[in-house]
Structure 1
Amino acid sequence: MRVVVAPGQGSQKPGFLAPWLENPETHKIVADWSAAIGVDLITHGTHSDAETIRDTRIAQPLIVAAGLISGRALQATLTEDVHYAGHSVGEFTAAALAGVLTDVEALQLVARRGAAMSKAASLTPTGMSAVVGTNLESLEGVLDERGLIAANVNSSTQVVVAGELAALDDLRGNPPEGTRVIPLEVAGAFHTSFMQPAQADLESAATSVSPKDPTSVIYTNQDGSVVTSGGKYLELLVSQMTSPVRWDRCMEAFVAAGATEVIELAPAGALVGLAKRSMPGVSTRKLDLPEHLDAFSAEEKG
């Protein structure tokens, strides 16, 4: 069984959409998406620099667009059904690929989400840092002392914490023994109560969407469980703005379901890295470039 996973914010790289946009049909689709959400995905995916595409308002729809392009291309190649999951904003990609949302609905909600999160982040100076080399249980006391929150539990050895910048600076200056603290270039404390104003905005936007029940197996960041209701999945997409991403539990669920391979959609790298360390015996592949589809096509023909 294959699990297709969609990455979250921070995975974007300058020019990463360019190879996909060489296909005229794909270029037209992305141009239409750009018009629908008011974000120039083509320019930002080909010519904009790293600083520009770091902006939450641009990064989030850009990442989801890349996941949809590569995901739809993969679906056109494979004959078997696959399972889906996304990390943070990547859940919108997964929702579209699993049939809960249309591509345009997913991108419109993400554009609204990115703008709302950017605005919420401007209210209080906050940020996020990855703590590498420890687990959530070992960190709980340290975080409580500093008023920090575990925003992403990515694996048994990597936890992303969030909160006010002064507390994050203190953690970096006094890291728990045996760990590394790496500041992340994000606008604010995502997946915490600091995003409550943004969640309210997205909840309002979500009322205009009529989700469908998934046509493929899809997992939630909330706890790694499988969600069979489209309405429930949409509720979880809204609530995850202020709740932790439990990617560790998603990977545990993949293994329990009998996963044999994890395929990460563009812009790929981070999630296959976590899978290699946390899912021994499960193979991994990145679908970062159009030519990577050739291997899947050859398998289907074989």
Structure 2
Amino acid sequence: MKAYVFPGQGAQFSGMGKDLYDSSELAKKLFAQANEILGFDIQKIMFEGSDEELKQTKVTQPAIFLHSTILAACLGDSFKPDMVAGHSLGEISSLVANKTLSFEDGLRLVYKRALAMQAACEAVPSTMAAILGLEDKVVEDICKSINGIVVAANYNCPGQLVISGAIPAVEEACTKLTEAGAKRAMILQVGGAFHSPLMEPAREELAKAIESTTFSNPICPVYQNTIAKAVTDPNEIKKNLIDQLTAPVRWTQIMQQMIADGATEVIEVGPGKVLQGLFKKVDRAFPTSSAEI
């Protein structure tokens, strides 16, 4: 059984998607459509932009979404997923790939999500930190002991968890986690506290857009970030997608569940190989590859 997975923020690079554009008429058409929907030349930023330009949330999120969904579309008849999942932002890419969302609606949601998250980040000084080498429960308990908002946000793989919250609370948590034996507790260069209660204003904003978007029956299950289980019901998919902004990404549990449900190989669709590396942390022998046209 083939599991297709879609990366999230952080996988962007200058020149992303240019090979697709150069080799496919369908890609050219979809990039032109994207420029029209967004109202700016995202294609130019993806192909020629600096790292700084690509790092802006309002650019990063649609750029990664476009790379993933256009690549999936260009795979044509060879794209036959048995299951899909996406890390954070990548969940929307996976919902276009399994036909829950149209390309156009997916892009509009991603852009609204990016702008809403950017606004929430600017409202409260906040950040995230990567914690390596501790059990999940230890990290969760220490976060709960801090006086301030700090929560487990991304369960990336066994022994690698990202925490998220207000800057003083995250800094205090990093100190306590280091004392508790973390190999590393490193503040990340991100715009704000994604997947934490501080994203509530963005969740409310995105919820309105999601409620007014058509969600169709998918061609295969999606393993959603908030519950780490296979979902096929459009209404349940919609609810979980709304919850995603303030809830943790349970990627460790998604990988374990996909393998338990019969996945025999995983194919990463989009920039980078981060998700393949995370699967290898769960099972070093598990077959992984990058999608290529």
Please indicate the TM-score interval, normalised by the length of the shorter structure.
Answer: over 0.9
Q: What CA deviation, in whole Å up to 9, does each residue of 1:200-255 have, x standing for no partner? A: 11111123211101111211111211111112212211110111110111011111
Map 1:1-302 → 2, pairs under 5 A: 1-23=1-23, 25=25, 26-78=27-79, 80-146=80-146, 147=148, 148-173=150-175, 175=178, 176-287=180-291, 292-293=292-293
Give me the TM-score of the superposition, normalised by structure 2. Answer: 0.93
Counterparts of 2:46 and 2:135, CA distance in 1? 35
Counterparts of 1:206 and 1:194, CA distance in 2? 19
Return closer, same or farther for 1:258/1:192 CA change in 2, 3 Å cut-off. same
What secondary structure sits across from 1:22 in the alignment? helix
In the comparison of the two structures, how many residue pairs are matched? 288
- How far apart are 1:136 and its partner, in Å? 1.2
What secondary structure sits across from 1:122 in the alignment? helix
Q: What CA deviation, in whole Å up to 9, does each residue of 1:98-133 have, x standing for no partner? A: 111001100100100000000011011001111111
Counterparts of 1:13 and 1:208, CA distance in 2? 32
Identity over aligned pairs, percent = 31
- How far apart are 1:39 and its partner, in Å? 4.0
Query: Mean Cα displacement is larger for which, 175-184 or 221-230?
Result: 175-184
Counterparts of 1:173 and 1:51, CA distance in 2? 30
Q: What CA deviation, in whole Å up to 9, does each residue of 1:258-288 have, x standing for no partner? A: 111111111121110100111343211123x
Counterparts of 1:99 and 1:190, CA distance in 2? 26
Counterparts of 2:245 and 2:175, CA distance in 1? 28
- How far apart are 1:49 and its partner, in Å? 0.9
- How far apart are 1:171 and its partner, in Å? 4.1
Contact residue 190 and residue 241 of structure 1 kept, 8 A = yes
- How far apart are 1:185 and its partner, in Å? 2.2
Contact residue 127 and residue 166 of structure 2 kept, 8 A = yes
Counterparts of 1:29 and 1:172, CA distance in 2? 43
Counterparts of 1:138 and 1:75, CA distance in 2? 45
Counterparts of 1:129 and 1:142, CA distance in 2? 14
Aligned CA-pair RMSD: 1.6
- How far apart are 1:37 and its partner, in Å? 2.3
Q: Which amino acid aligns with 1:285?
A: S
What secondary structure sits across from 2:123 in the alignment? coil
Return closer, same or farther for 1:39/1:74 CA change in 2, 3 Å cut-off. same
Contact residue 56 and residue 186 of structure 1 kept, 8 A = no
Contact residue 81 and residue 216 of structure 1 kept, 8 A = yes
Q: Which amino acid aligns with 1:87?
A: H
Q: Which amino acid aligns with 2:236?
A: K
What secondary structure sits across from 2:191 in the alignment? coil
Q: What CA deviation, in whole Å up to 9, does each residue of 1:148-169 have, x standing for no partner? A: 2001111221101011122333
Counterparts of 1:216 and 1:233, CA distance in 2? 12
Counterparts of 2:192 and 2:254, CA distance in 1? 24
Gaps of 5+ in 1: 294-302
Give me the TM-score of the superposition, normalised by structure 1. Answer: 0.90
Counterparts of 1:242 and 1:199, CA distance in 2? 7
- How far apart are 1:172 and its partner, in Å? 4.2
Contact residue 94 and residue 222 of structure 2 kept, 8 A = yes
Counterparts of 1:211 and 1:58, CA distance in 2? 24
What secondary structure sits across from 1:154 in the alignment? strand
Contact residue 4 and residue 81 of structure 2 kept, 8 A = no
- How far apart are 1:38 and its partner, in Å? 2.4
Counterparts of 1:194 and 1:204, CA distance in 2? 18
Contact residue 259 and residue 282 of structure 1 kept, 8 A = no
Counterparts of 2:221 and 2:266, CA distance in 1? 14
Query: Mean Cα displacement is larger for which, 242-251 or 225-234?
Result: 225-234
